[in-house]
Structure 1
Amino acid sequence: MKNTRNLILVAMFAALTAIGAFIKVPIPYVPFTLQYLFCALAGLILGSKFGALSQIVYVAIGLSGVPVFTEGGGISYIFKPTFGYLIGFIVAAYVIGKVRENVLKLTFIKTIFTLIFGLFFIYLFGVVYLYISYNLYLGKDISFYFAFFYGFVVCITGDLVLTVFAAYISIKLLPVLRKNGYIK
């Protein structure tokens, strides 16, 4: 029963992340979406292993050709400048889940710092991949500052708002899930 529940939750968070890709605000180079919100909640609720697995499933479905990413899907998506953010989702869900598993009492402030720590990895992989993609694959000579500005500075405000929202939701939700035996 527990394995079935875990598989359902992994699939649900993969689907939620896909839905989050289509709830977006178009801004230059990197659109603002709700993917990070569901990635963060996956790490917090499912833990490191299953949170990361939900994001791996999401990325695998997209790379297999199902158009679940912000600009479609398919194996050629690895050449998109924003693919690094998808890699970052996997790492972030794992990191967020690992921190949550190791913190005895998760307060609102601790949750915010946990989510920001995970968000760091999304931007680390995203900005570096954006820079490398433009310079090596697309042949457009951009500075690291350009990639940092459009890949981080322009986007971070929205993700910080989502961080506070995810922290608030999880502080209310995690005790209920623990009480009912859904998480440890």
Structure 2
Amino acid sequence: MQNNKRFTALDLTIGSIFVALMAVGANITSIAPFMVIGGVPITLQTAFAILAGLILGSRLSVISMSVYMLLGLAGAPIFAQFKGGVSTLLSPTFGFIVSFILIAYVAGKLVEKKRSFPIYITASLIAMTINYLFGANWMYAAYLLWFDAPEGFSYKLIWYWLAVPLPKDILLAIGAGIFAHRLEKSFISKSIIRNQQNIKVG
């Protein structure tokens, strides 16, 4: 959140909140099992990762998303469907988890120079697109190289699977951009979170 090299206690607290939000968003299917379609869980992680970038900024959001990934790899059941552990590295969907770090950074970087409404929306949609492209190509490589592919598997089939959550993620990405911009104008820009930054809010 700040341009200096040290994070404050407030920064780290809010960063940890996003780790918790990612865990909750990953396991929304525990209360709505019908949201697993074609073997792909429909989660809220993409929206929360984007929101982390928009609110925390590029540096702290990367740390927050990295902590989420590392906690899951260490065995905490915080990935989708309460999965965790090093074995999840071999999951075809692990690319999406890696991409959360990247999209949080991209979203944060895009809004750090000028926090205008169009940039918030654009940053959110660009981040969501990166999430899908990175995740889809990781999944394709996983099924080709180390995971048992289903009958009739193809690159086009992956995008058929991803077409199911895509409308939801587009709407949530736009919603994240709107929410983050309103939060910035109404609260964050007037708080100590931005007191050492020189950012134009539009």
TM over 0.5: yes
Structure 2 residue 32 is the aligned partner of structure 1 residue 22? no
Greater C-alpha Rg: 2
Q: Which residue of 2 aligns with 1:69?
A: 79
Among candidates 145, 158, 170, match of residue 147 of structure 1:
158
The number of residue pairs the alignment matches comes to 181
Q: Which residue of 2 aligns with 1:82?
A: 93
Using the TM superposition, name which of 33-42 and 141-150 deviates more.
141-150
TM-score by length of 2: 0.84
Give the letter aligned to residue 179 of structure 2.
I
Gaps of at least 5 residues in structure 2 are 1-5, 30-34, 198-202
Structure 1 segments of 4 or more deviating over 3 A?
A: none
Say which structure, 1 or 2, has more relative contact order (CA 8 Å, 6+ apart).
2
How far apart, CA to CA, are the structure 2 residues paired with 1:177 and 1:85? 29
Q: Whose helix fraction is larger, Structure 1's or Structure 2's?
A: 1
How far apart, CA to CA, are the structure 2 residues paired with 1:80 and 1:137? 9
How far apart, CA to CA, are the structure 1 residues paired with 2:184 and 2:28? 25
Q: Deviations over 1:37-72 (max 9, x none)?
A: 211110000000111111100000000000000131
- SS of aligned partner of 1:91: helix
Q: Deviations over 1:85-116 (max 9, x none)?
A: 001111000000000102x2411x32221101
How far apart, CA to CA, are the structure 2 residues paired with 1:53 and 1:2? 11
Give the letter aligned to residue 15 of structure 1.
A
Give the letter aligned to residue 100 of structure 1.
V
Deviation of the 1:2 alpha carbon? 5.2
Among candidates 40, 43, 47, match of residue 50 of structure 2:
40
Gaps of at least 5 residues in structure 1 are none
Structure 2 residue 133 is the aligned partner of structure 1 residue 124? yes
